[in-house]
Structure 1
Amino acid sequence: MNETTIQDLLQKIAFEDDQQAFKVLYFQYYKRLYNLASFYVRSAEATEEVVNDTFISIWSRRKLLADITDFTSYIYKAVKNKSLNFLKQRNFPIHFNIDDVKAEIEDVTLNIEDQMIVADFQLLIEHAVNSLPPQCKLVFKMIKEDGLPHKEVAELLNLSVRTIEYHMSIALKKLSESLNYKKNAPLVSSK
């Protein structure tokens, strides 16, 4: 969903108390926020609680949504803060299990031939991304799929910007190597 559409939803929620727009916003972000919260909170139940509490807070302060210019960044920071507060309040140790963090490429409506080409290419990319080291994979997905800037990803993951840049360079190099190798290989391996 592009930022203009998100801004439209935020306007409807802020000025019209539009519950349907809020529901669309919720479902648009839920999976990505769940994945981020699970980076901090290892329990599925606690992760759901963190994400839902974040949305409850957003609804209760919905009149302020119209002033937010980068909602994706805003909500990522909110989930990170809720996750850390959750762990702190319950005296849980902070665990990071990067392998549990997942993101998905959104579907695009195309004709059947284009869909097949895109599906094959997405399969290649998915395999290449999944072969990345766990932290490289997380950094790559947050920057390339969620569009977050390096500095923000560094803050969210408590890493330096240099470390983020390092992970991105490794990720891009490995993806390039993997995709260049696989472009001449068949998509289905024979076993």
Structure 2
Amino acid sequence: MMEPYCEKTLLKQVSAGDENAFKQLFEHHRNTIYSTAFTFTKLVELSEEIVQDVFLKVWLRRATLNDIQHFRPYLFAVTRNHVYKVLKQIAQNHKATVHLVDDELFVTNDIADLLIEKEYNSLL
């Protein structure tokens, strides 16, 4: 049977490397993180990835968890910052893709124009 949820105790245990305590922390907060991520992204898979990434960051920074007085706002800030980073990457990738497509259309039109011009010249 699981013990009642005590965040301060869990944070101390997680900062000491306790994986079971980390699992409890994850179970307690994952839906909130998912909801926050989904609000911004509207994408199920991306929101699930964000949950994983945020908790990976928490695990990697576990040694500092004892210093956190209010974990929920801390977790929200980590989530928000990660969501913004992911959305920025998506926007940059989209911009690059659009630029490549525009360039491709430009090249394609040039080639098409050249072929048409060549046909006209041969007809003349």
- For residue 143 of structure 1, what is the aligned residue in structure 2? none
How high is the TM-score relative to the length of structure 1?
0.45
- For residue 67 of structure 2, what is the aligned residue in structure 1? 67
**Cα displacement (A) at 1:5:** 1.0
CA deviation map 1:36-76 (0-9, x unaligned): 11111111000011111000011011000010000000001
**Structure of higher CA gyration radius:** 2
Task: Name the SS for the 1:91 alignment partner.
Answer: helix
Gap runs ≥5 in structure 2: 93-124
Question: Which runs of at least 4 in structure 1 moved beyond 2 Å after TM superposition?
Answer: none
**Cα displacement (A) at 1:32:** 1.0
**Cα displacement (A) at 1:77:** 1.0
Gap runs ≥5 in structure 1: 93-191
Task: Name the SS for the 2:91 alignment partner.
Answer: coil
Letter in 1 for 2:43: S
- For residue 36 of structure 1, what is the aligned residue in structure 2? 36
Report matched runs for 1:1-191 at 5 Å.
5-14=6-15, 16-91=16-91
CA distance in 2, matches of 1:85, 1:40: 12
CA distance in 2, matches of 1:86, 1:42: 13
Task: Name the SS for the 1:90 alignment partner.
Answer: helix
Q: Higher helix proportion, which one?
A: 2
The number of aligned residues is 88
State, as a whole percentage, how many aligned pairs show the same letter.
Answer: 31
CA distance in 2, matches of 1:51, 1:85: 14
Name which structure has the greater RCO, CA cutoff 8 Å, separation 6+: 2
